[in-house]
Structure 1
Amino acid sequence: MHFNLVEQNYQVTVWNRTPARADAFIRRGAVLASSAASAIAASPITIICVADYHVSTSILDQEPVKSALAGRVLIQLSTGSPQQARDLEPCARFKCP
């Protein structure tokens, strides 16, 4: 795991579908969010890194998450093709203002 943002003293909020997997980040000073939407709402920048774009879409396509993304930057680090990246572009797919 990489803890660069936490180790550089950035305020980091994390969420994981399996909360115990965030424990290493919490021990280093990150804050655990209770949901993906609350993690997104905690910062103007969100980084998502899951197995692939299918999983990413299943998380991002939930109504509370779509609302939380409004006006925020989403950095997608999940695996996918260039076309999948274009298809997932948040302001097109999730109607961000």
Structure 2
Amino acid sequence: MNSRLRGSEPSSSPASRAAGVYGWDILLESRVLHMPEADTTDYGALAAVYRHVGENFKVGVGYNFGRFSDDLRDLTLNDERVFLNMVGKF
């Protein structure tokens, strides 16, 4: 295990989703990253809108309002940005 990650305790992310309204989904999510070894706690939020394309695919765009990524290996704290997400369902 990477020593930089030891002690990281990501909390569960409360999320709200509005699904299937005329083929659109909306996601609102809050995030907390607590790292006791570094004596820091970072807070963030994420918002996204998805459009269903057929029955098995959706594409979305959103914004990460927090400085950290959901990839806990990435500790650069520079992840506030727009993102594109594509989801296939089987």
**Normalized per residue, which structure has more helix?**
1
Q: Which has the larger radius of gyration?
A: 2
**Normalized per residue, which structure has more strand?**
2
Same fold (TM over 0.5): no
TM range (shorter): under 0.3
Normalising by structure 2, we get a TM-score of 0.24
